[in-house]
């Protein structure tokens, strides 16, 4: 996530994919969400003051499961890019 925000992106029907160690685990579209992205942002911003660096998490499509230590998880959102992280066990 960068120090910028995409303001021209139409969030109504974006593809979201999740891979774990290169294997596709989840796929979905923002059009399948119960609440639209703009509705979520509006609700949150009416409840909290959003500040630079704040992140709103929206949940996940079906197909979730436990991730073992060392797994590499990549989330790709059409029009935005890919965020990749390693799973680290909390000791």
Note the pLDDT of residue 3. Answer: 72
SS3 readout for 62-81: CCCCCCCCCCEEEEEECCCE
Q: What is the mean pLDDT of the chain?
A: 91
For strands 72-77 and 81-86, give the pairing.
Answer: antiparallel
| 34-58 average pLDDT score | 92
| Residue pLDDT, tens place only, 49-73 | 999 888 898 887 777 788 999 999 9
The tokens of 56 are what? 């709103």
Higher pLDDT, 21 or 2: 21
User: CB of 13 within 8 A of CB of 38?
Assistant: no
Note the pLDDT of residue 6. Answer: 83
């Amino acid at each position: 996530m960068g120090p910028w925000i995409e303001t021209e992106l139409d969030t109504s029907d974006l593809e979201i994919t999740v891979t774990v160690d290169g294997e596709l685990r989840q796929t979905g579209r923002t059009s399948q969400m119960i609440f639209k992205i703009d509705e979520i942002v509006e609700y949150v911003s009416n409840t909290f003051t959003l500040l630079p660096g704040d992140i709103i998490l929206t949940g996940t499509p079906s197909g979730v499961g436990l991730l073992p230590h060392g797994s590499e998880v990549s989330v790709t959102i059409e029009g935005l890019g890919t965020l990749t992280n390693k799973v680290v066990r909390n000791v």
